Chain A
Amino acid sequence: MKIVICVKQVPDTAEVRINPETNTLIRDGVPSIINPFDMHAIEAGLQIREAAGGEVTAITMGPPQAEQVLRESLSMGVDKAVLVSDRLFAGSDTWATAYTLYKAIEHIGADIILCGKQAIDGDTAQVGPEIAEFFDMPHISYIRKIVDVSRERIVVQRLMDDGFDVVESKLPVLLTVVRELNVPRLPSLKGKMAAKKAEIVKISAADLKVDEQDLGLKGSPTQVLNIFAPDPKGNRKMLQGGPEEMVSQLVSELLESKCI
């Protein structure tokens, strides 16, 4: 079984600041880490390998220094690491990123592709599902539990607002995962030592045999016009109890606040 995990290097902060003039993230002086959701994808990939056998490959698209997150993935126990890097990929939106990763993963081959549900810097949650669309393979997002996995099919629980769905899919499939799925393991010393020496497979635009028009800024149909922090929503209050109780509470609240 071939398991591919998409990992992204992100700035280590939940409060990313934005340059108001360029509308881009300010990355200076912020240390880089593996996107936290991707850590759960790595753990899931390793657990699938332990249960069903196979080979786990971590892949990232980014500048040369993104190699660091691949070495961290290797130290956790991933078998192979692939860096998709080229100046031509610069400025990719989610479409172009997904297209490039799709082409690169096609190169490697995959039965299961795992992604974090979203990256903590861009927060779009689009690249994973878009990769699946390019492949024309099923995808299941927000996986909170892998119930069963074999070489042909997988059964998972998908997190919903009011509980979870149980979804079965044939392979190949793409899954995006949430924190509830697992606790990512720490690296091992042997893993760290091996990761330091491991060879990282590098894939450039030329290797993908694609039209340059489909890559990077040129291949990106969306353009960011403005990024801003939305005004906070007004206060809200959840009423508790049975319908009658809640209605009388609601009426008295509305009277109190002179709405009625």
Chain B
Amino acid sequence: MDYFLTEEQVMIRDLARQIAEEKIVPVRAELDETGEFPWDIMKTLAQSDLFGLFIPEEYGGLGKGSLELAIAVEELSRACLGVSTTYAANALGTYPLLLFGSDEQKKKFLPDIASGKRLVAFGLTEANAGSDAGGTQTVARLEGNEYVINGTKQWITNGGAAEVYTIIAITDRCKGPRGASAFVVEKGTPGFTFGKKENKMGIRASATTELIFDNCRVPKENLIGKEGMGFVVAMKTLDNSRTGVGSQGVGVAQGAFDEAVKFARQRVQFGHPVITFQAVQHMLADMATSIEAARSLVYAVSRLVDSGAKDVSKESAMAKVFATDVAMKVTTDAVQVMGGSGYMKEYPVEKMMRDAKILQIYEGTNQIQRNVIGQAIIKEAARNNK
């Protein structure tokens, strides 16, 4: 379907697609098998300026928005969600600096992020703080001109690989959710180390580790925004990044669908290619329809975010929950259309199905997204009945 993209958006799509086809597709099975971090691909993305897509021009980026990022993420996700997770998590980690960073912080960090010289990671989740971010136990205590950080972040994408980390820690436990603050911590800071690399079901090319802070001292200037703004930073960051997860869903679903169609045209049973059978056609029709619906929603919400809309929590949650549920359904159905072949590692759809599952879990489970949507509905209804 034609989404009336601008000439530049088409350029971004074509370049991301070229990288996906030439650099990612040939190695994705191996990356999945070995769990090796895709450094070569990150280098290609850096050379192609894709890391700077959403970063303002004054910091060396291209000054584009959520829609352009969604388009690039979708194309990379068609080929490999492990790679696109690494790329998208970089944006996730950058948003706290972009949205709440001081001029000095932006000048210091954004140019290297835009050029792809330094990768970024976002650290919110902990062993006892997943869906309930209020359970955060990592603390940052102000001592003179330094914050002393203690605690452990869990399942952090790009952990170890990234050079820059934006994390949430409690600065005042008495204040509850208003007692959290956001910090930027650089790799190599004494007292900051990484736990083991997790062995995951899918997105195996992406690195997932613990971040361990043991009396890690960072200068006071590393506080992002003001003390107590940590959860606001985290929530606004997630509001911006959720459409990116939605576009990952659209991408992996499209990738699986393309494989299923190709296979169904070639596979002959009862003397005919299986695509001629209505049972298969109906599955493909539902897959294609739901992908287009998901893409429409993701693009529409991305445009809403780019318009500067003040509150996009509900809409971005809708884009994430719908597109990622579509991704799980479509990748599962792609395996089904391809039957035994789909289940085998010779074909990419079993990997896509394993990869897709994380989309319903990370950056807020789809149940939490529904909570966000539900709360917004209650608020709107109350406002309308005043």
Which residues of A come within 8 Å of B, CB atoms? 185-193, 196
Contact = CB atoms under 8 A, between A and B. Distances in A.
Q: Looking at chain B, what size class is its interface with the partner chain?
A: 10 to 19
A135 B53 CA distance: 45
Interface in B305-353: none
A196 B8 CA distance: 10
Interface in B140-169: none
9 contacts: A186-B15, A186-B18, A186-B19, A189-B11, A189-B12, A189-B53, A189-B62, A190-B49, A196-B7
A192 B13 CA distance: 12
B301 interface: no
Interface string B44-83: 1001111001000000001000000000000000000000
A191 B18 CA distance: 15
The secondary structure that dominates the A interface is helix
A93 to B, nearest CB: 35
B47 A192 contact: no
B22 interface: yes
B48 to A, nearest CB: 5
Task: Report which residue of A189, A190, A192 has the largest number of chain B beta carbons within 10 angstroms of its beta carbon.
Answer: A189
Given A192-B11, A193-B8, A193-B11, A186 B44 contact: yes
Contacts of B22: 186
Contact of A186 (B12, B47, B53): B47
A70 B53 CA distance: 25
A191 B47 CA distance: 10
Interface string B1-42: 000000110011001001100110000000000000000000
Nearest to B62: A189
Most chain B CB within 10 A, of A186, A193, A196, is at: A186
Contacts of B44: 186
B45 to A, nearest CB: 10
Contacts of A189: 11-12, 15, 48-50, 53, 62
A42 to B, nearest CB: 14
Contacts of B12: 189
A190 B44 CA distance: 14
B67 to A, nearest CB: 15
Contact of B62 (A185, A186, A187, A190): A190
Q: Which 3 A-B pairs have the closest CB atoms?
A: A189-B49, A188-B49, A188-B48
A186 B48 contact: yes
Contacts of A188: 47-49
B250 to A, nearest CB: 21
B71 to A, nearest CB: 12
Contacts of A185: 47
Nearest to B8: A193
A193 B48 CA distance: 12
A17 B106 CA distance: 56
B12, B15, B62: most-surrounded residue (chain A CB, <10 A)? B15
A105 B228 CA distance: 65
A189 B68 CA distance: 12
Nearest to B22: A186
A193 B44 CA distance: 18
A196 B12 CA distance: 13
A187 B15 contact: yes
A196 to B, nearest CB: 8
B230 to A, nearest CB: 34
Nearest to A195: B11
Contacts of B11: 189, 192-193, 196
Interface string B95-111: 00000000000000000
A186 B44 CA distance: 8
Nearest to B68: A189
Contacts of B23: 186
Contacts of B15: 186-187, 189, 192
A31 to B, nearest CB: 14
Contacts of A192: 11, 15
Contacts of B18: 186
B354 to A, nearest CB: 28
A214 B22 CA distance: 43
Contacts of A196: 7, 11
A235 to B, nearest CB: 32
A222 B23 CA distance: 43
B367 to A, nearest CB: 37
Given A188-B49, A189-B12, A189-B62, 16 more contacts: A185-B47, A186-B23, A186-B47, A186-B48, A187-B15, A187-B48, A188-B47, A188-B48, A189-B15, A189-B49, A189-B53, A190-B49, A190-B62, A192-B15, A193-B8, A196-B11
